[in-house]
Amino acid sequence: MAVLPAQAAGDPAAGAKKNAMCIGCHGIETYKTAFPTVYPVPKIAGQYPQYIVKALSAYKSGDRQHPSMRAIAGSLSDQDMEDLAAYYGQAK
């Protein structure tokens, strides 16, 4: 089993300034989205940073399917993903 690093290559302070598209869903306890179907949105605070980068990259490439996440991830640069991952990785 591979061990993921505790830190991302990004800057958490920069990620805090880029999280407007994330916090609306991922920052609300017990939030459920209604598009494309109703389902609970996972909290990402405290998640492994490299997992966040891999997930965002998979949405951007189309390997993960979700219309909203694909659109959001598609607008992010690699540095944006690293910064957001660093921010959410250290968030509680």
pLDDT attached to residue 39:
85
Residue length, the chain? 92
Q: What is the pLDDT of residue 33?
A: 85
Question: All domains of the chain, ordered by start, with CATH?
Answer: 12-90 (1.10.760.10)
Distance between CA 80 and CA 85 in Å, rounded?
A: 8
* Helix or strand run (H / E) with residue 63: none
What pLDDT, on a 0 to 100 scale, did the predictor assign at position 44? 93
**Predicted local distance difference test score (pLDDT) of residue 46:** 93
The whole-number mean pLDDT for each consecutive block of 10 residues of the chain, a chain of 92 residues, reads 59 96 89 85 93 97 94 97 96 88
Query: Is there a contact between 37 and 83 (Cβ–Cβ < 8 Å)?
Result: no
Residues 8 and 79: beta-carbon distance below 8 Å: no
State how far the alpha carbon of 2 is from the alpha carbons of 5, 50, 51, in Å.
10, 12, 12
Joined together, the tokens standing for residue 62 give 């189309």
Q: What is the model's pLDDT at position 8?
A: 58
